[in-house]
A and B are shown apart, each in its own frame.
Chain A
Amino acid sequence: MIDISTAVIDFGLIAPEISLVAAAFIILIIGYTKRLGKFCALTALLGIFVSFYYTLIQYGNPGSGFSGMVTSDDFGVVFRMIFLVTALLTILIAQNYLSLKRLNKPEFYALICFSTMGMMVMANSTDLVVMFLGLEIMSVPLYVMAGFARRNLASNESGIKYFIMGAFASAFLLMGIAFIFGASGTTDLKRIIADLSYLSEFSHFYFYSGIAMILIGFGFKVGVVPFHSWVPDVYQGAPTPITAFFSVGPKAAGFAVLLRVFSFGFAEVEILEPTFWVLAVVTMTVGNVLALRQNNIKRMLAYSSIAHAGYILIALTAGGIEGVSSAVFYLIAYALFNFGAFTVIIMMESRSGGTTEFSELKGLLKVHPYLTSILALFMFALAGFPPTVGFIGKFYIFSAALKNGFIWLTLIGVMNSFISVYYYLRVIKVSCFEDSDSEFAPMSMTPALMFVLFITILGTLGLGIFPDQILEFSKTALFAFL
């Protein structure tokens, strides 16, 4: 039982979350006032910076409070940083796009802040209840954001599909948590692990059904294959900056929880290893094969994000410190080059009459040679060519799998990377070797977009050539809670 009088109330632990929520509320208050209405984006950025500062302070000082409901460790700090950077980049790339599409409303920034806060709660929790709450705080704003363009039929459809699938998955997750609670009598991950050996015959059934349901719930959230059908529709229909946010933030949050629950919490459960093996193979293969025949770049990137989830599942299957650190490294890498690719797509789409079809790229080389090479860089990174960070990330994942004896899994992963080269290079082929039928409409390149491109290029190339620092960073992050 929880003894209320000894519960530690340490607001320092949740200061990053508090600052984001404060920023969101300030935005909601000032958003529709005449004089302060234009400072919404600035307030959100300020909130993100303050939150980042408080997160940075926590690095290296693990702590726990609120009766063990909130834990702060270096694993959580690394993921919090990923989410905050994602939110920052999303706000930067959204500015121009939102004003062009007449969607520049204050609630957008508030929703980003709320959703990011939910992800941070998720990554930091070692208790299933807090994890579920974090997931919902993240998801509910995401549903609204997917349907953000209220007059756009595709966006409406994307929002409602995301909502139904998300709520369905949450219900599975909740039922799973209820079963695990019933089997072990606690929702605290550390205590569940300790009690694992004392389970009776009766609770075994509930424990395993609980694990299966939790897996189904998170499988939906991160887009693992039997539960992936919503991903392409939602990604295609949502406004593009929001799609960029979807493909990085919630995915990283889902994997943060999967890593914590399955690589540490239930690592002893033997049935999980073959399950993850199968899921990884199916997810990679289906994602890559279906991506081959897409004509819309956003839809292609949606299938590619499914395939990348498959690569990260390889790392999860491998497990151990190499597996988890390679998964963390890959999530950082994926965030960088995926965001870069989406930035270029936003530039294309922001032209007058711009779409996200492949044909939109025709003749790009003649007008914007630099932008074409930047796009090519991101495509090479997605496909995993050296010297980009995409190569290093895949290399670490495959070597982690090999070290733990998963030879077939590694082979299938490498073959899948080869398949993926085809559709990534198709982007380069269309933009370099096909001529546009009509005049190439001028592109809007705002300083914010250029800044995001600069950051993502720097990360993609810099981490590709000097990966040691971040790799050490993601490795030390894990020792804290092993």
Chain B
Amino acid sequence: MTVPIDAYLVVGAGLFGIGVIGVLVSRNLIILLMSVELMLNAANLALIAFSRALNLMDGHAFVFLVLTIAAAEASVGLAMVITLYRNHDTVNIDRFSILKW
């Protein structure tokens, strides 16, 4: 028995939703970064599911590019979190309020 494409998409949408909620609710920068990564991976899951359902290879190739981009983004993000931690001694975003949000 094969798993229908809808099942993958529901899981993908669920992960994406968790990521969105994480970005909006969380106060910790590290958790924010993780939530963004979760959103990107939810999109990857949807891409692979569609690609498999349509019997195309394009989506699979795209996922590799996205993984590379996600890695680049994560490295820049973590570097920024480290600079912030050095200057502020915290990673709680409520403490970064020199500029009005």
Residues of A within 8 A of B (CB): 1-2, 129, 132-133, 136, 140, 143-144, 147, 150-151, 153-154, 156-161, 163-164, 167-168, 170-172, 174-175, 177-179, 181-182, 185-187, 229, 232-233, 236-237
Contact = CB atoms under 8 A, between A and B. Distances in A.
Nearest to B13: A175
Interface string B63-101: 001100100110011001101100110000100111111
B27 to A, nearest CB: 12
B18 interface: no
A233 B99 CA distance: 6
B7 interface: no
B4 to A, nearest CB: 12
Given A187-B62, A237-B99, A159 B80 contact: yes
13 contacts: A143-B77, A144-B76, A144-B80, A147-B83, A157-B96, A160-B29, A161-B99, A164-B32, A167-B73, A175-B42, A178-B46, A179-B46, A237-B99
B56 interface: yes
A171 B12 CA distance: 12
A154, A167, A170, A177 — most chain B CB neighbours (10 Å): A167
Interface string B27-43: 00100100010011011
Interface residues of B, number: 42
Tell me if B's interface is mostly helix, strand, loop or mixed: helix
A133 B64 CA distance: 12
The 9 closest A-B pairs by CB, nearest first: A182-B50, A171-B39, A174-B43, A233-B99, A178-B46, A175-B43, A167-B36, A178-B47, A157-B96
Nearest to A147: B80
A174 to B, nearest CB: 4
Contacts of B3: none
A172 B101 CA distance: 22
A239 to B, nearest CB: 14
A307 to B, nearest CB: 18
Contacts of A179: 46
B58 A187 contact: yes
